Amino acid sequence: MLTVHHLENSRSQRVLWLLEELELPYEIVLYKRDPQTMLAPPSLRAIHPLGKSPVVTDDGITLAETGAIVEYLCDKAGGKLRPAAGSAAARAFTFWLHYAEGSAMTPLLMTLVFSTMPRRAPALMRGLVGSITGRAQTGFVNPQLKDHFSFIESELAATGWFAGGEFTAADVMMSFPLEAGASRARAFAAKPHILAFLAKIHARPAYQRALVRGGPYAYA
């Protein structure tokens, strides 16, 4: 049986959603975050050496990295939710599959790190750390986010989906960076196509079923 090692409030929610879309049977092993560090528990290292989620096990196969898992699951489902090989949509599919984690998540992760650094610093250093991280956020990270969100908005303008005119697994991959971005105040105030995309995916029955299976999902 295919098993998803699912960490609460994490990117592994996408894997549950994709499985629901593909109508593949699966089981869930749920892991709770450490309440102090918010990191995955050490028990995940027994499944994969990096101790990260998502991890999928299936008949002796262990897979990590969401993009690799997405490709494996699409193959397992006979190519469902993947454009025909050699098409323009297939090239877009490959791009967005890698872009979601390779480019889009980088400045969002930097935002998360910079926002937590001041409060984790020694009391006497918090002001200085806050000043440094604030300048890095304002001078570097925010412009990067602006560029990425503007690019994504323009790409969605054509069809409302990321790889051609129909919903694909690329849209599943891109859900998490956009959900994370939506938690930033006013990030998408002038991004109607991104907002429409989020509304569409959140209304999908498979997305809703995955929330029931996976439990609470706070992506902010």
Same domain, 151 and 172: yes
Range of the domain at 183: 88-204
Same domain, 22 and 97: no
Confidence label for 116 from pLDDT (cuts 50, 70 and 90): low
Per residue, the 3-state secondary structure of 51-83, as one string, reads CCCCEEEECCEEEECHHHHHHHHHHHCCCCCCC
Same domain, 135 and 185: yes
Same domain, 168 and 122: yes
Q: How many Å separate Cα 31 from the centre of its chain?
A: 17
Same domain, 115 and 160: yes
Q: How many Å separate Cα 144 from the centre of its chain?
A: 18
Q: What is the pLDDT of residue 23?
A: 98
Same domain, 115 and 196: yes
pLDDT digits (tens, 9 = 90+) for 132-185: 666 767 767 788 888 999 999 999 999 999 999 999 999 999 999 999 888 765
Q: What is the CATH number of the domain that holds 63?
A: 3.40.30.10
Q: What is the pLDDT of residue 130?
A: 65
**Looking at the domain assignment, is residue 220 inside a domain?**
no
More confident residue, 110 or 219: 110
Confidence label for 220 from pLDDT (cuts 50, 70 and 90): very low
Record the pTM.
0.90
Number of domains the chain contains: 2
Same domain, 200 and 92: yes
Same domain, 99 and 71: no
Same domain, 42 and 102: no
Residue 81, number of CB atoms within 10 A of its CB:
20
**Looking at the domain assignment, is residue 219 inside a domain?**
no
